[in-house]
Chains A and B, each alone.
Chain A
Amino acid sequence: MTYDEARSLTQKILASAKAGEVELRLELARSAHLRFARNAATTSGATQQTTASVTAWKGKRKASVSATIGLAEGGAEAALKKLVAEAEELAALSPEDPEYLPLLGPQSYLEVKAYDRATAELPAAARARAAGDALRLSRRRNVMAAGFFQNRGVVHVLANSAGLFAYFPISSAFFSVTARTPDGAGSGYAAVSSVAMQNLDCREAAAIAARKALESRGARELAPGDYPTILEPQALADLFPSFQFFFNARSADEGRSVFSALGGKTRIGEKIFDSRVNLYTDPQNSTVPAASFGEDGYRSDRAYLARNGILENLAHSRYWASRKGRPPGPFLVNLIMDGEGKSLAEMIASTERGVLLTHLWYIRAVDPQQGLVTGLTRDGTFYIEGGKIMHPIKNFRFNESLVRVLAQIDSLGTPQRVTGIERGNYPMLLPALKVKSFRFTSISDAV
């Protein structure tokens, strides 16, 4: 759906609304994927799906309905009008919303280029070629590969009865592969993603996974405890989404977060992290371009959570921002952390005794008051001594806090585009990170 078609359709629908305010969201998604395992193709699928969401207000009463709708033969218009009517009907039954805010009027948005048509419409044969390269390499290296290749094209549309209209197309190609040695003693993981398929080197990813699988065989036990630890960008990407929830302003103001201070205050403005910590969102970053609008169609902008180690801001919803007299946001459409250009080899060389983490798994919040999470290492964990990787070690469970990780930085690498394993396509640009201490609490026998 083009910009003009989306504008025309949404205007027509909004004009049909009976009374009160209406917000309309469309997500037009085209997606295809191929999976493989045990060095062979397994399943694949393709779908085109449009999801429409309508929120209607009757005064301060609000309700939302959403549905997948068909676009063929003019079906969209009738389906959307029906949704508007349903939302209006439900809104009338709802109690008044004490957090009601009037809809935003027209906004001006940053220009973000994030759509590559060839990637969104990639044919099945191209996915098969990419996977085939990885499978052949894996067979040659005598590892068993399991992986996933997905290409997507999504057009996000948001329009409301106050005249706001936002349109944002984005594409993505994502390839990930886990290589395991046939004896089950070694495992390695690698993933690559981009807005454009042409930037992906799936064969190289398969080679990295195979190398890690072979190098991680014969893992020995290292006693749990605190160790200087290097997190590859993938490991940091696995960890960060679980930290993201702690950056909520309302939770902090309500005394329910690691960023809460006594007396109903927050720690905004405090130097909490290492001085090199710059953590921000930037929709226009060319490696991780992201939506030009956030909640309710509010413009998304480059904005810091932490700068030079100081907690600069927490994510404020529109309502909470109005309560606190602050501008809404930052809307975390992506997440970027600056690096300092250290190579992984330099980080290893400067480590007298420590641990290298390549991939993390099943990370869950344990105590929001401490920013504490638990999780496990997987797919290659290594022991470093005297500036060299000595041998693979068995996986660890860790219990570690956001504040400790970002306060005890030793050195930072060069940021790379990475995707956390448990958080879908949330784009991040993160460096490798060496911390002075990371707390491992028990050993896992999993490979």
Chain B
Amino acid sequence: MLTRRGFLAAAAGPLAARLQAAELDRQVFAEQALALARKAGATYADIRINRYQNQRLLTRERQVLRIDSDSSYGFGVRVLKRGCWGFAASPDFTENQLKQVVGQAVELAEANATLPSRPVKLAPEQPHQARWRSAYKIDPFQVPLEKKLALLLKINETALQVKGARFVTSSMSFVREDKFFASTLGTITEQEIIRSGCSFQVTAVDSGRGEFQSRASLADAVERGYESIEEHPYVEEAGQAAEEAAQKLSAKPVEPGKYDLVLHPSNLYLTIHESCGHPTELDRALGYEANYAGTSFLTPDKLGRFRYGSRWVNMVADRTQPSGLATVAFDDDGVPAQRWYLVRDGIFVEYQSTREQAAWLPGVKSRGCAHADSWSSVVFQRMPNVSLDPLDSRLTQEELIAGIDRGILVLGGGSYSIDQQRFNFQFGGQVFWEIKNGKRAGMLRDVAYQARTPEFWNSCDGVAGKSEYALGGTLGDAKGEPTQLNAVSHGCPPARFRQVNVINTGRGGERRS
């Protein structure tokens, strides 16, 4: 644990001499930055000194396509002056550059103050000093490259052994973030985050008919170490995926119409992301992202009274969730990670928020959702892990299926698209099983479901229990201008939805609905 006193003591002495040390003393550098900002008239300032490390491996069939390793290290200073934000960043840790960066951030704030503006007010927050590390057992950057490539090539080989499987790609991604944050509030945090992911896609081809079908892995990245990859049966799944891709070639094209759906977590997570994660962002709801990501149908007048979904629908936001990609100890405002409900018993009850946003609506406090994807990016509100909470449900996927006369079980994420207010969405999948009279029947193909968010979630009449709960997620959710990426997970058990519109996306039937 760092202390404020220790921080200030470390900051004593000439900066130039300290910067000459081989390893940067981040606390010293930070204190100098904050002192410069205060001297320039900033009423608040913070500095992030972050190092990012990524490794990406890509293979296809029996060859390695890419072994990429990249890293990024620098600092960004954010100042608040005359009620306006300014931000500047640099990878050069020199005294001159620090002065220049702070000066530039102040200059930007002053330029903004000449424009019509709404003075920024930050919600009160306690100073915190802490060190935190995300939970992992095996550091993926210490795992030999040969071992990782061997697994990817084994995945490919297993898939290619299946008749009809012609192409396969597989990849691994690993991320390490080493983040340092200090603010004029007295907060100093250090966080280390590790994320790991492995995926593949098999394509089966029917040369005679000139058709192909693909099936991708159902597993997603998580905030864990290499143990997460060792625990998932990728090789076995590759064999099954190849069988299913080949089976899809001769599967029955779906007849468009209304179906009851059971959505597996590997499919439903993305629906949660798009139809609940994004519309409950307060900046979107108030028009701050109108120019790109869009706004939200969940406007403030709906808070606390709008029936978003049925009583089965409980959406929890959680930056403390084990393995969740957006899990941290503190956000990029220095606010502790929290867990809260966005939708409770089907009613929309709260937004995602930051310190700045707390002033935008009465009754809002920061929920610790401030984030920037790099030391060189501006901090703004990003999505926490948002999940469908099964509460005490004891239902199972098989029981959900048993309650359906005519329906479809959907697994895996496919093509996805949703409008800029998060009403109208269309999602595909990887594997589709027809449900007839309460039982899984044959495989279907060319399925996409299209719905309006509130109707969809109000049609939910069953959520399975915790034993079938699983996490899906993405390392690259885009928002903001310039566009920034966010890693975020969504957990859920299988869930059932009644009478959802299904379209056929295949040849000849693609646009019938």
Contact = CB atoms under 8 A, between A and B. Distances in A.
B417 A146 contact: no
Interface string B68-96: 11111110100000001111111111101
Contacts of B73: 67-68
B287 interface: yes
A110 interface: no
B111 A128 contact: yes
A53 B66 CA distance: 13
Interface string A29-55: 001111111111111111111110100
Nearest to A36: B115
A256 B167 contact: yes
Interface residues of A, number: 102
B467 interface: no
A135 B203 CA distance: 51
A178 interface: yes
Contacts of A67: 70-73
A370 interface: yes
Pick the most buried of A42, A69, A424: most chain B CB atoms within 10 A of its CB.
A42
Contacts, number: 278
B108 A45 contact: yes
B463 to A, nearest CB: 26
B423 A445 contact: yes
Interface in A238-289: 254-256, 260-262, 264
A369 B69 CA distance: 33
B86 A44 contact: yes
B87 A49 contact: no
A442 to B, nearest CB: 6
B67 A90 contact: yes
A37 B107 CA distance: 20
A11 interface: no
Interface stretch (A306-314, A357-365, A426-434): A357-365
A41 B210 contact: no
B481 A35 contact: yes
A86 interface: yes
Given A128-B115, A150-B481, A255-B212, A447 B421 contact: yes
A125 B113 CA distance: 10
Nearest to A363: B417
Contacts of A115: none
A402 interface: no
A71 B66 contact: no
B419 A395 contact: yes
Contacts of A212: none
B511 interface: yes
B380 to A, nearest CB: 7
A408 interface: no
A75 B421 contact: no
Contact of B483 (A42, A65, A424): A424
Nearest to B90: A48
B91 A38 contact: no
Contacts of B89: 45-47, 49
Contact of B94 (A40, A73, A184): A73
A98 B65 CA distance: 9
Given A362-B419, A376-B419, A441 B112 contact: no
A399 B513 CA distance: 11
A72 B72 CA distance: 16
A95 B501 CA distance: 48
Interface string A118-160: 0000001101100110011001000010111010000000000
Interface in A384-402: 395, 397, 399-401
Given A47-B90, A132-B116, A255-B212, 17 more contacts: A37-B287, A46-B104, A64-B68, A68-B71, A91-B67, A93-B146, A94-B145, A95-B64, A97-B63, A128-B115, A178-B291, A184-B295, A184-B299, A365-B415, A397-B426, A441-B450, A441-B513
Interface of B: 62-74, 76, 84-94, 96-97, 104-105, 107-112, 114-118, 144-146, 149, 166-167, 203, 205, 207, 210-212, 286-292, 294-295, 297, 299, 376-378, 380, 415-424, 426, 428, 446, 448, 450, 452, 481-483, 501, 503, 505-507, 510-511, 513
19 contacts: A41-B115, A42-B288, A45-B87, A47-B90, A124-B108, A132-B114, A132-B115, A135-B116, A150-B482, A364-B415, A367-B507, A367-B510, A372-B510, A376-B418, A395-B419, A439-B511, A441-B511, A442-B513, A447-B421
Interface of A: 31-51, 53, 62-73, 75, 86, 90-91, 93-95, 97-99, 124-125, 127-128, 131-132, 135-136, 139, 144, 146-148, 150, 176-178, 180, 184, 187, 189, 224, 254-256, 260-262, 264, 361-367, 369-370, 372, 374-376, 378, 395, 397, 399-401, 421, 424, 439, 441-447
